[in-house]
Amino acid sequence: MTLISPATQHRTRIKMCGFTREADVLAACAAGADAIGFVLYPPSPRSVSVERAADLARLLPAFVTPVLLFVNETPARIEAACTAVPGALLQFHGDESADFCQDMSQRTGRPHLKAARIPLSKVHDFDLLEFAHIHQAAQALLLDAHVDGYGGGGKTFHWSLLPPNVNAHLVLSGGLTPANVGDGIRALRTHGLSLAVDVSSGIEAGKGLKDADKMRQFVQAVRTADNALSL
């Protein structure tokens, strides 16, 4: 497969994750989010029940996609969540195998994202090219920092040390904020088939409590980077 020229991608897609409140979902959509993530992992401070995720997802307008985040979940619970939240994408953020992820996509009829947990200090110890090959059925790979537990913990990894020729659509995550997301886009824009971004803690007033101003600032920072790179 031939990599897409960076000149052909003028709009970086934005996923915002970890929503728990109606007002925050509406503010994210108004700001320009393309996807809204709901954490279905009980140990997370941003976790919501399947029923709560379904209620929040009903607020999404057309062309804003719900994403359900799972960590080492059972097939039965994944299928139940998909029934409750029509049209949601699946995000696997734990130790799920490629076969498991692909099987769940086939059983639910939903595309999936797979998180690649990148070491903070030893990026070269993680073979992203091999990971992309193993998880080639994923719609995209979500690049997050590897910290204790699951999720990036608001940490960034060394973007510049990733391989420049990843045969996959990429979603940059982990410690993104309005102040640094432009740098992340500039660093990784040409590294894969396309680049999207994913933010959670960087748009919060507290864990699971989003800040409308920060969400608007984040979207503006992404658009500023897009405009600069399209010149």
DSSP secondary structure string for all residues of 177-191 = -TTTHHHHHHHHTTS
17 catalytic, yes or no? Answer: yes
Taking the alpha carbons at both ends of the chain, their separation in whole angstroms is 26
Question: Which pLDDT score, from 0 to 100, does residue 120 have?
Answer: 74
Task: Report the top-level CATH class of 10-230.
Answer: alpha beta
| Model confidence band, residue 10 (pLDDT cutoffs 50, 70, 90) | confident
pTM for the model: 0.92
41-47: list long-range contacts, CB under 8 Å, 24+ apart. Answer: 41/69, 41/70, 41/71, 41/73, 41/93, 41/150, 43/149, 44/18, 44/150, 44/151, 45/207, 45/208, 46/17, 46/18, 46/19, 46/20, 46/200, 46/207, 46/208
- Going by the DSSP 8-state scheme, the letter that residue 3 receives in this structure is P
Q: Is the pLDDT of residue 7 over 50?
A: no
The Cα 133–Cα 114 span in angstroms is: 12
- Mean pLDDT of the 45-62 span: 97
144 catalytic, yes or no? Answer: yes
Cα dihedral 143, 144, 146, 149 sign: negative
Q: Is the pLDDT of residue 60 over 90?
A: yes
Q: Is 171 left (phi over 0), alpha (psi -120 to 50) or beta?
A: beta
The predicted-structure confidence for 123-163, as pLDDT tens digits, reads as follows: 567 899 999 999 999 999 999 986 666 655 667 888 888 99
- Going by the DSSP 8-state scheme, the letter that residue 42 receives in this structure is T
Q: Which of 194, 186, 197 is nearest to 229 (CA)?
A: 186
The predicted-structure confidence for 167-210, as pLDDT tens digits, reads as follows: 999 999 999 999 999 999 999 999 999 999 999 999 999 988 99
Question: Which pLDDT score, from 0 to 100, does residue 3 have?
Answer: 45
Check: CB of residue 67 under 8 Å from CB of residue 82. no
| Model confidence band, residue 17 (pLDDT cutoffs 50, 70, 90) | very high
The Cα 75–Cα 16 span in angstroms is: 25
Catalytic residue from among 17, 29, 82, 101: 17
Catalytic residue from among 24, 34, 144, 198: 144
Portion of the chain with pLDDT greater than 70, in percent: 90
Check: CB of residue 72 under 8 Å from CB of residue 95. yes
